[in-house]
Structure 1
């Protein structure tokens, strides 16, 4: 596994055990003795509703169904793990115990998998799971130690089922695994250092997006911030600093100015902090928003209804720790929601009933931080190693830019895709060509009088192609008439120019994310 999870290093291959769990005749101890739960000589069906490991024992919540049809739930402990969903036939030899009389009595409902069906999960499929249990098996003299774990699968068509695996080292309970299917009995771990755990990030992204709000609503209020007793000198200074750090259109039209705007967008605040840099030495959108929140908070009454909002956004002050900790929070993760759309839609927050101006301003500032964080988490969600070995890196961010008296949020997404390494020994002996990279750039903004615009561009081997989308007919016609001039300027800059097209409307939203699409060489 990885250093981030503090688990011991594991080998590259991990065999999935083919031996089913054997608990026939074993006693399951009831935490609360129940005399006469099952009449002597009778049997009952027990279904495992939940499983939790405590040291070397396993706590079970069982639903017991008697022959009469009456059902009851009981808590019990077992020396061996039994997967959630497993159904067994049990008897009651004493008030404190249940005895399993038939292992896997109803085979069709047993949730534990002891082998991989490659018809459902073809070789190369990426599995993600959470470790439920870890148990040392009796050691054979002269043989290395073997540990058995039960892993709850979190993706694919088998999401929710449990896989029984064996490994030469114990797996920490509650941690996450990413592994590729090698064959019916073998998995290959994908190191976390090369792939962020997408399910955990997506779970947190849903929470962030429910709190986020558009940046322009806050910035317009700050432009008209009144000079009153409610607004302290420090608060007005924090607002002025934030507004002064916003770039204008002229700055973004130069390479140096654009690079500086990207660096100051707030996306890299945590990177600066980890590197020991002082974020106060240069403008940074997220840092300036946090300073604004810090000045707004003392001005409000302690019993303000915004305390929950403030608490919810304090995690942005320790984003690196949050990202690491998120990897251990999959207990609440269910099926993965649809991929994040780009651009993030506009979301304006209205004044709540009984809310004063400062409370509303604080709520807008907290929502703006959540919006920036939504972009950061979207970047993590779309970054990783695909099942066929391609490495995709994504940087998604938002830059509020000045356009005369208006402030226009510019949403940007950069995506770099690298072809998988070729493993042939003959090719390794030969002199390798530089690795080819496919770059994608998406821009989205709404500027008057042009209206909403979205630009998609791809660059590979010095060849550029682009699609533009305009929602207003006048704008689409204007862009179409200037495509020839754009092509000439791109050629003059040294690029090979492929397709340049402008469309009326919005891009079609397909069912797949960019991360899931195939590697495409437009020169092939």
Structure 2
């Protein structure tokens, strides 16, 4: 194979003195990484810093848990963040021997990058679907003047109604029994059901039970697509899935910050004020909503699978739960659930007593109370909770009820180590993939 190398040495245009100094620095770096001359090593491409006329100019490698910035001359070989490469030290350079087959992490990152630019908010998307089911749709081919709205085809309207019927409601949440009521398992079972049907586990549930009628947000959106496609006569056409031929409708705020989670935005306009859409626009809207669910699925996998210098990262689930207000308006609750996992050394020293730590972040925007963030941590019998409110009136209400929350935790046999209410939002509330993990411009 042609000579292909990566080196911490200076470019050829540097002066002799500067070049010698950088060569010495490169040798020191390679010695610190304990790479002997002619020895081979595996490294992961963490970041592509520069590209000049299609050729990689500079890379950041994750080599033995440490970042190493290198100049690169790799010929026809194409490298992207997440790729694994085999290198050999030759003097003060690392010679590229080859690129390993794509890892599951790299494939997940690639799929995530493909979905990122095409996300539609679930709450505003559901509001548009509800408006179409109640009020009808505009004709795909506009006529003279302002043509009347057409009723949505019955199969599609029925699919939307079934989807909405499965969503939690504000009234239902307010009247649900607590853990201390006569049905102690009701609340936890109901929450578990909502999480299961959030769309995050759609493919896994289908793998266990290939029932197309499973109660699941992602599958329910797909059923609306199928109903609309059947009415348009495209479901079984040679062109295949109609979504493949449509550009998804996107939400600008998700395009500007595609990986931030949670990421609350102002509530969508009431359904009565939403502009009617055509069937074609509904399909584009649904495509964007399905992309949003897929991004949360892939984002969860990437966060859980990424390698860190401190060992295994926490198992992470990111999901959005749509719910309905008393006025029937869709809203979103964003949840991040993390389980801290011990690395191998910790497991060997504490094999007899595994201690799991769970962390929950819940963010939602309530019409009467405004944006709220909840951070809860549970380790064995110890619990801590912080509640953040952006409105001063809401903060005062929370402080007045914090004693009741403390008593509820105590009645469950938990030791409260920290419990507080604060104004604003937590600075660490957002989970954002490092730009080194996913190149969203690729």
Q: What is the TM-score when the length of structure 1 is the normalising length?
A: 0.55
User: CA, structure 1 residues 340+153, in 2 after alignment: closer, same or farther (shift >3 Å)?
Assistant: same
Q: Any stretches of 5+ residues in structure 1 without a counterpart? A: 1-78, 90-104, 131-151, 165-171, 186-190, 316-336, 516-524
Q: State the 1:438 CA deviation.
A: 1.7
Aligned to 2:340: 417
Q: For 1:128, which of 41, 44, 47 is the aligned residue?
A: 44
Q: Distance in 1 between matches of 2:127 and 2:292?
A: 16
Aligned to 2:163: 242
Aligned to 1:34: none
Alignment: residue pair count: 353
Aligned to 1:440: 359
Q: State the 1:248 CA deviation.
A: 2.7
Q: State the 1:357 CA deviation.
A: 2.5
Q: For 2:198, which of 241, 262, 265 is the aligned residue?
A: 265
Is residue 214 from structure 1 mapped to residue 115 from structure 2 by the alignment?
no
Aligned to 2:318: 396
User: Which deviations, in whole Å up to 9, do the C-alpha atoms of 1:93-135 show, x marking residues without a partner?
Assistant: xxxxxxxxxxxx99959x99xx885489868xx95239xxxxx
Q: For 1:498, which of 392, 400, 417 is the aligned residue?
A: 417
Q: Distance in 2 between matches of 1:106 and 1:256?
A: 70
Contact 1:293 1:365 in 2 (8 A): yes
User: CA, structure 1 residues 107+82, in 2 after alignment: closer, same or farther (shift >3 Å)?
Assistant: farther
Contact 2:264 2:364 in 1 (8 A): no
User: CA, structure 1 residues 355+495, in 2 after alignment: closer, same or farther (shift >3 Å)?
Assistant: closer
User: Which deviations, in whole Å up to 9, do the C-alpha atoms of 1:172-228 show, x marking residues without a partner?
Assistant: 9999555999x999xxxxx999x9626x54554344332112112222233331476
Q: Distance in 2 between matches of 1:128 and 1:486?
A: 47
Q: Distance in 1 between matches of 2:412 and 2:422?
A: 25
Q: Distance in 1 between matches of 2:280 and 2:311?
A: 49
Contact 1:418 1:435 in 2 (8 A): no
User: Alignment RMSD, CA only?
Assistant: 5.1
Q: Distance in 2 between matches of 1:217 and 1:431?
A: 48
Aligned to 1:358: 279
Is residue 455 from structure 1 mapped to residue 367 from structure 2 by the alignment?
no
Is residue 231 from structure 1 mapped to residue 163 from structure 2 by the alignment?
no
If asked which structure has higher relative contact order (CA below 8 Å, sep 6+), I would say 2
Q: Distance in 2 between matches of 1:490 and 1:180?
A: 53
Name the structure with the higher helix share: 2
Aligned to 1:283: 215
The structure with the larger Rg is 1
Name the structure with the higher strand share: 1
